Amino acid sequence: MHSDIGKEEAMNLNLLKTYLKLMLIRNKLNYLLIILSIIAGYITVSVVMVYIDNVLILSSESIYPDINYIYIGIRTVLIIGGIILIINQYYNIMKSGLRDYCILKSIGATRINIRILILLQVACLLVISIPVGLYSGYLLSNLIIDSLGSFSLNSETRELIDSTETFFVAAGIAFCVISFSGIYIERGIHKMPLNNILSHQTTVREAGLL
């Protein structure tokens, strides 16, 4: 009997290629979920800003002099909510990969191997999800705002929504959130006793990821 793997194919397998395959196949649904989260976050923040402009600022500026503070507060809450949503999605991705990291550790993956794998996952997320999610969110939110013809828009808000700076600030926030949560989770994995995973007893809490 002969092996059905060709020699050339077998010899071409390398660490980076295998890691990339692992990351891309495993996370295809997760990438979509993160993209959708970013789109939803972007649209929510933009549309709520327009709504606040109309309901609170334009109509009530004379009645509530401190309305700008409320406005900033609501916007902050929305942004924090969006960040939590992304962290939650990212956390679920890492949780789903925990078992595989432990299998790899058991067959000889060093700390560096695991770190590269996690950072590669972060890089894939950054390269795929953030540009696609933010740009789609930007286009869709503009489309929605333009279709709300009956709403008038504060010129500052219009500028903020249209500005490319907003786009890059949002990308920067998403970048920081995903990078720091990646580093945090990677540190947690190394604290985890391998014995627990091998015995199928590990919970994420035990792993120090919470």
Partner 1 sequence: MTMIKSINLRKTYQNTDEFIYALFDCNLEISDGEFVIISGAKKSGKTTLLHLLGGFEKPSGGLIYINNQNISKYDEDELAILRRNEIGFMLHNDSLIPELTVHENIIMPLILAQKKYDENYYVELADQLHISGILNQYPKILTTNQLRSVAYARALINNPNIILMDDPLNDLYHDSDSESLDNLLHIISKYHKTLIMATNNPEFGSYANHIIRLRDGVVVEDRLT
Interface residues with partner 1 (CB under 8 A)? 1-5, 7, 10-11, 13-15, 18, 21-22, 25-26, 100, 103-113, 190, 193-195, 198-200
Least distance to partner 1 from the beta carbon of 210, Å? 20
Least distance to partner 1 from the beta carbon of 119, Å? 16
Least distance to partner 1 from the beta carbon of 132, Å? 22
Least distance to partner 1 from the beta carbon of 97, Å? 10
Least distance to partner 1 from the beta carbon of 196, Å? 10
Q: 164 or 199, CB closer to partner 1?
A: 199
Q: 14 or 150, CB closer to partner 1?
A: 14
Q: 76 or 201, CB closer to partner 1?
A: 201
Locate tokens 């078992």: which residue?
A: 99
Q: What is the DSSP string of the chain?
A: ---SS-HHHHHH--HHHHHHHHHHHHTHHHHHHHHHHHHHHHHHHHHHHHHHIIIIIIHHTTT-TTHHHHHHHHHHHHHHHHHHHHHHHHHHHHHHHHHHHHHHHHTT--HHHHHHHHHHHHHHHHHHHHHHHHHHHHHHHHHHHHH-TT----HHHHHHHH-HHHHHHHHHHHHHHHHHHHHHHHHHHHHS-HHHHHTT---TTTTT--
Q: 18 or 203, CB closer to partner 1?
A: 18
* Angstrom distance (rounded) from CA 159 to CA 168: 14
Q: Cβ contacts of residue 187 below 8 Å, gap of 6+?
A: none
Least distance to partner 1 from the beta carbon of 198, Å? 6
Q: 63 or 112, CB closer to partner 1?
A: 112
Largest CA distance in the chain: 87
Q: 5 or 63, CB closer to partner 1?
A: 5
